[in-house]
Amino acid sequence: MTAPTIPTAPVFYLGAHQPHWLWRVAFPLFVSHRQLARKGRLRRAGCRWALDSGGFTELSLNGRWTTTPAQYAEAVAQYAEHLGRLDFAAPQDWMCEPFMVERTGLSVAEHQHRTVANYLELTALAPHLPFIPVLQGWKLPDYLRCVELYAAAGIDLAALPRVGLGSVCRRQSTAEIGHIVATLAGLGLRLHGFGVKTGGLHRYGHQLSSADSMAWSFTARRRLPLPGCTGHKNCANCLTFATRWRSALLADLTARGHQTDLFTLPTTERAA
């Protein structure tokens, strides 16, 4: 089969807890396999979207992957067939935050080797699916070594339409992430930023080819519900809040004069 074609135009994906939002919005979403796998019936998505493998939760709970590459590839094949509009799928990568390395009992280097090996296995199992490679590490030299691991395996990351950047969303230092992003983007890599915070979008969003964020949910959890929102104590899972947050973010970025290529798609909500 021919290799998958991943869109190269920059795009921002709103992180979504609820898979049914795929049928309610017109803007791009980032949805977790762990949530989507629970849906008994799949129908055509109303928006373009990308798939999170759910690796952070998987490794946090189990200290290892309990889903095999073959099982995951089969699930992604079902999503691609029945939902459609899948831009890309994250592999079953191994995050490298210090607490995650402690949880697995492995080293950063071993996490990197397993991340690269998984990408190679998934693309061998299903070359027709849009799996992307992910760079894992903690310090900048780690990420550069991960680039070398892919090169040693025959993968030219600069030739690919998207390369994920992992283990960044839970860092406290936006400046540190910015330095990592700038260095890797300088190698010609078209990066996807996983779980980028609002400050990160302002600081280095122009160096990303795509990004996703759940920052809206964290913000909503610390606030009272929106007027008219009943039945929940906050709007951490609320589509209305998420849509308004997204619109406000895009407007703010535009007003500040930042590159807005990531944020040019429709912001309207559709009925289910």
Q: State residue 165 phi and psi, 5-degree precision.
A: -115, 110
With 0-12 CB in 10 A as exposed, 13-18 as middle and 19+ as buried, what is 30?
Answer: buried
User: Does residue 125 form part of some domain?
Assistant: yes
Give the three-state DSSP class for 260: coil
- pTM tops 0.85, yes or no: yes
The domain spanning residue 51 has which CATH number?
3.20.20
With 0-12 CB in 10 A as exposed, 13-18 as middle and 19+ as buried, what is 21?
Answer: buried
User: Does residue 133 form part of some domain?
Assistant: yes
Over residues 54-72, the pLDDT tens digits come to 999 999 999 999 999 999 9
Over residues 73-118, the pLDDT tens digits come to 999 999 999 999 999 999 999 999 999 999 999 999 999 999 999 9
User: Does residue 269 form part of some domain?
Assistant: no
Rounded distance between C-alpha atoms, residue 134 and residue 10, angstroms = 17
Over residues 211-258, the pLDDT tens digits come to 999 998 888 888 888 888 887 888 888 899 999 999 998 888 777 765
Model pLDDT, residue 98: 96
User: Does residue 268 form part of some domain?
Assistant: no
User: Does residue 117 form part of some domain?
Assistant: yes
Rounded distance between C-alpha atoms, residue 143 and residue 148, angstroms = 9
Confidence grade of residue 262 (pLDDT, cut at 50, 70, 90): low
Q: Is the pLDDT of residue 32 over 80?
A: yes
User: Does residue 270 form part of some domain?
Assistant: no
Residues 6+ apart with CB under 8 A from 80: 86, 129, 130
Model pLDDT, residue 110: 99
Report how many domains make up the chain. Answer: 1
Residues 6+ apart with CB under 8 A from 60: 100, 103
Q: Is the pLDDT of residue 269 over 90?
A: no
Range from 152-156, 175-179, 205-209, 220-224 carrying the lowest mean pLDDT: 220-224
User: Does residue 4 form part of some domain?
Assistant: no
User: Does residue 5 form part of some domain?
Assistant: no
**What number of CA atoms fall less than 13 Å from residue 57's CA on the CB side?**
8
Domain residue limits at 159 = 11-263
